[in-house]
Each structure stands twice: as structure tokens, then as C-alpha cells.
């Protein structure tokens, strides 16, 4: 079972929400649940790409703090991104537990806001946690509060494990009436650019001319060098920087812009193999432009940062993607 925590607070030391999610994470890990946390304030420049991480989750915890009014901008941005770019079919199978702590007023409204938003997205509800906590020392001085939090974590585990059903809600009817967003094969950044510039005729015309010029340029470059060097590029970089991980086995398929065939990477403990070609048996498939690939092999970028920033598309196991940055020590490469 995998449960992801999305924390929408500011990461302050005295944030009561941090105490609650730390306690819940501790309980869930004791129940052998894989828990991963995403701090939205650290990922504020890539929030629009985070809905892609939901694909591997069985349950999520949306946690935020009401410091003056409402659930805060980071959490609202994440919910907006889920509506615009999230996989609604996958979200429909994910249970969500809302956690809202308040240092002023409005924790109940915040919890209701998160529950309603998730149900409109099509997701499944879990019983959440909310409360007014002026000082985190209150938790330390009251053991019964800790027991309440532990019980909520256990209930969430039980709900997901038993796949408990819930009665239909009017929010589902709202979703059917207003869900007019269409899935498009674009990154969030590309979608935003289109919505901003599509009505500008001069901009569109100039972009078409630039694309034609670049297409011609790349065609000439590929025609002159691809047959000789194209099937070897990057293979030496990966081979020389490989750091084996005992017991780790995976196959990566990387489609690099300008390459006729994808780069296939096969790793199995100390063994590693590389070739340009096609394979149907892979754990992660990626699409990446050549400039970003160059940044990665020269240690100016990591695969995870490229994905989070929208410079790379992927499908497959997100955890296997993260391991890719561990088995290749490009940081030791001399420029």
C-alpha cells in the first residue's frame, strides 16, 4: 500500500499540522505502508506537475494549516492542477484523508473544503482530522490527542485496505455537469503558453516559421551525423558513471528528441546494458529533449528535477525513476 502526503503549509517549526502528519506517518509505517511526503512550499515552481505522482498512490493525505483564512495558496494550486492535469480515472480510485489544523479560526471549513474538492475530482473520502491548536506544546501535554491522531491513521489504513464504499454524494453530480476539461498531450507549461498566446496571430505565425527553420536544421544535422554517431551518444556517459545497487533491477526506455530510436537502459545489480532500439518490457518510459539530457549527464540537472519541472515526460513507476538518479553518479563527471 502506498500513501502520499501533500503538505500545503509553510513548513514552520511550530506548525501543528506537521506534528499531526508526522504522527500519522509514524503509525502508517508501523503498519508497513509506504509513505512519501511532498512539501508544496519546496515544490512551488512545479506544483502543476505533481498530479502525475498520484498514479502510484492508493491513498493521499491533504494537509494544510489555516493561519488567517482558508486552506492557503499552495494547496489550492495543487487542487487546481489535479482538476486541469490529473488522471480522473486514477483519482476515482484514491482515498483522501484531509488534515487541517488552525492557529486562528476556520479548521472545520478548511477540512470541508478539501473533502468537497476531492469528491468533485471524483476521489473517495476518508474521515479526516481538524482542530484549533494555538501552541504545539498542547500535543505534548495531552496524550489523548495523540491517541485520536493514531486512531485516524488506523481508520485510514482500514478504509483503504478493505476498499470501503461510500454513499453517492451530490458532488459527483456536479462533477458530471462541469467536468468539461479534455486530456491533451501537453505539459502544464505548454498548455499555459497556448492559452496565453494562441489568439496572437503574429506570434503563431512567427512560431510556425521558427519551427520550420529548426526542423530543417535538425534534419540536416541528423542526415550528416546520425548514422555514424547517433547510436553511440550518451551510452559512454551512462556506462562510466554507473553505481550498482544490490538487488535493484529495472529497464528504462528514453526517447530523446532528434533520435530515431529510444535509448534502452537495462540494469540488474552489477550488470548494466545500453542500446538504441525498441523494447516492450520496461519499467519507466521517458520523453526528453536533447538539451535537458545534456544537462543531466553533465550534472546540471537530475532526472527527478527534469520531471518535476516539466522538461521531461514519463510513465511508469515513479519510485524507479527516482532510483535512476542514485545509480548514475553524474555529479562526479568533470566538465
Average pLDDT over residues 127-153: 89
Set of cell numbers at residue 322: 527516482
pTM over 0.85: no
Same fold, 2-178 and 235-332: no
According to the model, what pLDDT value does residue 130 have? 93
The string of pLDDT tens digits covering residues 221-272 is 655 444 445 567 889 899 999 999 888 999 999 999 888 889 999 999 999 9
According to the model, what pLDDT value does residue 141 have? 82
Average pLDDT over residues 202-211: 69
2-178 topology per CATH? Rossmann fold (3.40.50)
235-332 topology per CATH? Nonspecific Lipid-transfer Protein; Chain A (3.30.1050)
Whole-number average pLDDT of the chain: 84
According to the model, what pLDDT value does residue 221 have? 61
Weakest mean pLDDT among 139-153, 190-204, 310-324: 190-204
Q: Which of these, 103, 47, 46, lies nearest to 75 by C-alpha position?
A: 47
Q: Where are the domains of the chain?
A: 2-178, 198-228, 235-332
The string of pLDDT tens digits covering residues 124-135 is 989 899 999 988
CA distance 51 to 59: 13
Average pLDDT over residues 214-222: 65
Amino acid at each position: 500500500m502506498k500513501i502520499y502526503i501533500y503538505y500545503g503549509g509553510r513548513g514552520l517549526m511550530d506548525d501543528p499540522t506537521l506534528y499531526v502528519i508526522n504522527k500519522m506517518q509514524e503509525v502508517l509505517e508501523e503498519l508497513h505502508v509506504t509513505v512519501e511526503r511532498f512539501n508544496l512550499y519546496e515544490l512551488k515552481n512545479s506544483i502543476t506537475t505533481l498530479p502525475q505522482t498520484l498514479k502510484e498512490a492508493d491513498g493521499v493525505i491533504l494537509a494544510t494549516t489555516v493561519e488567517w483564512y482558508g486552506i492557503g495558496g499552495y494547496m489550492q494550486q495543487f487542487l487546481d492542477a489535479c482538476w486541469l492535469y490529473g488522471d480522473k480515472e486514477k483519482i476515482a480510485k484514491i482515498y483522501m484523508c484531509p488534515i487541517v489544523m488552525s492557529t486562528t479560526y476556520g479548521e472545520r471549513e478548511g477540512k470541508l473544503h478539501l473533502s468537497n474538492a476531492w469528491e468533485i475530482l471524483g476521489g473517495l473520502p476518508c474521515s479526516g482530522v481538524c482542530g484549533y491548536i494555538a501552541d504545539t506544546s498542547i500535543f505534548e501535554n495531552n496524550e489523548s490527542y495523540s491517541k485520536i491522531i493514531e486512531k485516524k491513521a488506523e481508520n485510514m489504513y482500514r478504509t483503504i485496505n478493505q476498499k470501503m464504499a461510500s454513499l453517492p454524494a451530490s458532488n459527483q453530480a456536479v462533477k458530471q455537469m462541469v467536468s468539461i476539461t479534455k486530456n491533451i498531450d501537453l505539459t502544464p507549461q505548454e498548455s499555459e503558453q497556448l492559452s496565453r498566446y494562441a489568439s496572437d496571430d503574429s506570434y503563431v505565425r512567427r512560431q510556425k516559421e521558427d519551427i520550420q527553420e529548426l526542423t530543417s536544421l535538425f534534419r540536416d544535422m541528423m542526415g550528416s551525423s546520425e548514422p555514424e554517431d547517433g547510436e553511440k551518444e550518451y551510452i559512454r556517459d551512462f556506462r562510466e558513471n554507473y553505481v550498482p545497487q544490490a538487488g535493484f533491477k529495472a529497464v528504462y526506455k528514453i526517447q530523446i528528441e532528434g533520435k530515431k530510436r529510444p535509448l534502452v537502459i537495462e540494469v540488474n545489480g552489477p550488470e548494466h546494458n545500453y542500446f538504441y532500439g525498441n523494447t516492450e518490457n520496461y519499467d519507466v518510459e521517458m520523453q526528453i529533449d536533447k538539451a535537458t539530457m545534456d544537462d543531466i549527464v553533465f550534472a546540471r540537472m537530475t532526472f527527478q528535477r527534469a520531471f518535476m519541472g516539466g522538461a521531461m515526460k514519463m510513465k511508469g513507476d515513479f519510485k524507479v525513476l527516482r532510483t535512476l538518479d542514485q545509480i548514475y553518479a553524474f555529479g562526479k563527471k568533470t566538465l
